[in-house]
């Protein structure tokens, strides 16, 4: 029994996840259509759990817990709100000690050790959210897959996919798909 850590992120063609500080995962360069969001929902529902860094968690909460009951939103957004709110989550943070919505908090100097134990004691895919967290998992040789939704935008600046990009990362393509608007999904195994 060993789960896989899957770093899941929207990214520009040139490898950035934010153009400007404060975009909070939703820059105007992203083309998130209903079709794409339904894919997000399907993949999120299939996860064993989610592991998120503090910044990503705080982007998600309170928006998604509120969205699940907001009748002004389309059904696929309400559905994702329900998935995110009820899915088991681990928040990795040095500053927070509590979190709601089926979330356990871990932190401190042994956070990566705790995540390695979680991976070893779990099955399935564990979604990873956050560049800082993904970078730490990669350095510890715990990152198993990348699930990248590549948007047709060249940003030229911003926050990269990894905080400190690895000098070389060998990947094996597992799956790819094209969505309306030109967003390409690429799922890779980290070799």
Structural domains in the chain? Answer: 4-190 (3.40.430.10)
Q: Are 84 and 62 in contact (CB under 8 A)?
A: no
What is the rounded CA–CA span in Å between residue 93 and residue 72?
33
Reduced to 3 states (helix: H, G, I; strand: E, B; else coil), residue 14 is coil
pTM over the 0.75 mark = yes
Retrieve residue 2's tokens. 């060993």
pLDDT values of the chain reduced to their tens digit, one per residue, 191 residues: 799 999 999 999 999 999 998 777 778 999 999 999 999 999 999 999 999 999 999 999 999 999 999 999 999 999 999 999 999 999 999 999 999 999 999 998 899 999 999 999 999 999 999 999 999 999 999 999 999 999 999 999 999 999 887 778 899 999 999 999 999 999 999 98
């Amino acid at each position: 029994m060993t789960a896989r850590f899957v770093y899941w992120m929207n990214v520009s063609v040139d490898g950035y996840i934010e153009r400007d500080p404060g975009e909070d995962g939703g820059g105007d360069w992203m083309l998130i259509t209903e079709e794409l969001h339904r894919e997000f929902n399907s993949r999120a529902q299939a996860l064993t759990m989610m592991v998120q860094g503090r910044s990503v968690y705080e982007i998600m909460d309170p928006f998604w817990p509120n969205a699940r009951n907001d009748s002004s939103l389309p059904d696929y957004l309400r559905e994702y709100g329900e998935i995110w709110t009820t899915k088991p989550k681990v928040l990795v943070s040095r500053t927070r000690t509590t979190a709601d919505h089926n979330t356990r908090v871990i932190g401190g100097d042994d956070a990566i050790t705790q995540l390695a134990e979680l991976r070893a004691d779990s099955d399935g895919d564990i979604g990873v959210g956050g560049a800082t967290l993904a970078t730490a998992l990669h350095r510890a040789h715990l990152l198993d897959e990348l699930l990248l939704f590549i948007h047709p935008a060249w940003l030229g600046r911003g926050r990269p996919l990894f905080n400190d990009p690895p000098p070389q990362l060998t990947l094996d393509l597992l799956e790819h798909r094209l969505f309306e608007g030109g967003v390409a999904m690429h799922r890779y195994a980290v070799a």
